[in-house]
Amino acid sequence: MIDITNLHTGLYIGGAWHDARSTFATVNPTTGQHLADLSSADGDDVDAAVAAATDAFRGDWGALAPSRKGALLHRLADLVEADTERLAALESLDMGRPVGMGAALMIPNLVAGLRYYAGWADKINGELITTDGYMGSPVPTHAYTRRDPIGVVGAIVPWNAPLMILGWKLAPALAAGNTVIIKPAEDASLSILRLAELVDEAGFPPGTINVLPGIGRVAGEALSLHPGVKKISFTGSTETGRAILRNSAANFTRTALELGGKAPQIIFDDADLDAAVQGCAMGMFFNQGEVCAAGTRVIAHRKVYDAILDGLKGAAEAQVIGDPFDPATTMGPLVNARQHERVVSYLSTGIDEGAEVISGGSVPESPGYFVEPTVLAGRNDMVVAREEIFGPVGVVIPFDTDDEAISLANDNQYGLSATVWTSDVSRAHTVSAKIEAGAVGVNGWSPLAPQLPWGGVKASGIGRELGYEGILAYTESKTVTVVL
């Protein structure tokens, strides 16, 4: 466990801590007991944060040389790296993930992202464009594009990987010269509040980065409706994504949405089955299955279907459910009572619609929000195979031909990521090209690396984060034409 008594729990605006007019309570998902009372930002607080972020954008942050911006990102990366254990522990306390996972993967992902984009800060260029001449005449032009920052960016993040997902927004937004207002999720604000303390220590100009804990329908909505916010970058549910898109229409606010998923994992009969089973089990159970890219539809060739069911059963039974701070634990509790009820209700829906429970399917006797890792044998048209469950539940579906596998994979509203398991290199590329998803992994989950663009098609969202595309997404292009 970790002591949180000295952690700031207020609003971080303009480089200083403020108390909000009200607070909201959070719960420890391992025990179901009260955890903390946090400041709850309202519309006035959002106004104050937008004013501070606008001042910084027009003032000290905007005036800072690009390489100095990069140096500050490096400084923040160093501070985050040195604080890895604490940040990972805060996330585990808030949302239940085994602490070692956060320390090994999520916090290092934030560090890597800060360093990757630190390097981009002084390498954002437009291009020189050749024209036929000016307006049909032979008079030559000197035409070029600039890549300017957009302005104040609102980053609204979920609870499943708070710092990692925030890093995909914060690092490129800052490197491109924007200022940022962060709205953490109600259920997991602690690690982001600690990050604000590190931002303060790093010495960013006041107002460059602001943090507003609060309620989505209040603080998040005020941020997405604010005319001073020039871009909203959101990760979370499809329903909230739709609401944000509607709200951002009021001011034509640029909007990037990273929403849910129901990732297919196609296993061909020529695949390395041990690797496929291990990979698919990780895809289902990692982070308690609370992952937008969770590989929860395993589409297995009929020849290997029984072997895959057996393998996944073994992998599910090998999971150790328990306290996220116990080093033996591989799966902690779900984030809150609502998510627990939701996942449990999907388990009964699956059984009612005829899915066969291969492993799990029950709720352990315990005060926290635990659910057994569950493998179901079913069909692609079942509710449990169509909707995002956001818990450790996967459905295994058989297929006979490559075309059938592709059509099953694409027969879903989501299109975030997919995995193809095969030893045939030609099939790997052919199938990857036909899958409707923003990212495809072959013989492994699509990695979440700062260099690799990430985002969805269909109901999985709009826009790409990470990589070079990730930084362009935080710039406006302006064309300048000089008539010579």
- List of residues contacting ligand NAD (CB under 6 A): 156-160, 183, 185-186, 216-217, 220-221, 224, 235-237, 240, 243-244, 258-260, 292, 339, 388, 390
Neighbours of 4 (CB within 10 A): 17
CA distance 227 to 151: 11
Tell the smallest beta-carbon distance from residue 391 to ligand NAD (Å).
8
Catalytic one of 91, 221, 258, 290: 258
Give 221 or 323: the residue with its C-beta nearer to ligand NAD.
221
Whether 465 is a known active-site residue: answer no
Residue type, 69: K
Q: Residue 167 corresponds to which tokens in the numbers above?
A: 């890093």
CA distance 297 to 280: 9
Task: Give, in order, the Cα–Cα distances in Å from 470 to each of 51, 323, 467.
Answer: 26, 36, 5
Give the DSSP per-residue string, 256-286: EEE-----EEEE-TTS-HHHHHHHHHHHHHG
Tell the smallest beta-carbon distance from residue 89 to ligand NAD (Å).
21
Tell the smallest beta-carbon distance from residue 194 to ligand NAD (Å).
17
Whether 476 is a known active-site residue: answer no
Tell the smallest beta-carbon distance from residue 258 to ligand NAD (Å).
6
CA distance 286 to 97: 9
Task: Give, in order, the Cα–Cα distances in Å from 195 to each of 23, 182, 351.
Answer: 20, 11, 43
Neighbours of 133 (CB within 10 A): 12
Give 319 or 460: the residue with its C-beta nearer to ligand NAD.
460
Give 80 or 416: the residue with its C-beta nearer to ligand NAD.
416
CA distance 7 to 194: 7
Q: Residue 60 corresponds to which tokens in the numbers above?
A: 């000290």
Tell the smallest beta-carbon distance from residue 359 to ligand NAD (Å).
22
Give 217 or 303: the residue with its C-beta nearer to ligand NAD.
217
Tell the smallest beta-carbon distance from residue 232 to ligand NAD (Å).
8
Q: Compute the residue count for the chain.
A: 484
- First-to-last C-alpha distance (Å) of the chain: 68
Give 13 or 212: the residue with its C-beta nearer to ligand NAD.
212
Answer whether 201's CB lies under 8 Å from 221's CB.
no
Tell the smallest beta-carbon distance from residue 393 to ligand NAD (Å).
12
CA distance 204 to 60: 9
Q: Residue 108 corresponds to which tokens in the numbers above?
A: 């290092």
Give 224 or 329: the residue with its C-beta nearer to ligand NAD.
224
Residue position matching structure tokens 């296993």: 267
Catalytic one of 280, 292, 388, 465: 292
Q: What is the SS3 assignment for 317?
A: helix
Give 89 or 219: the residue with its C-beta nearer to ligand NAD.
219
Active site residues: 258, 292
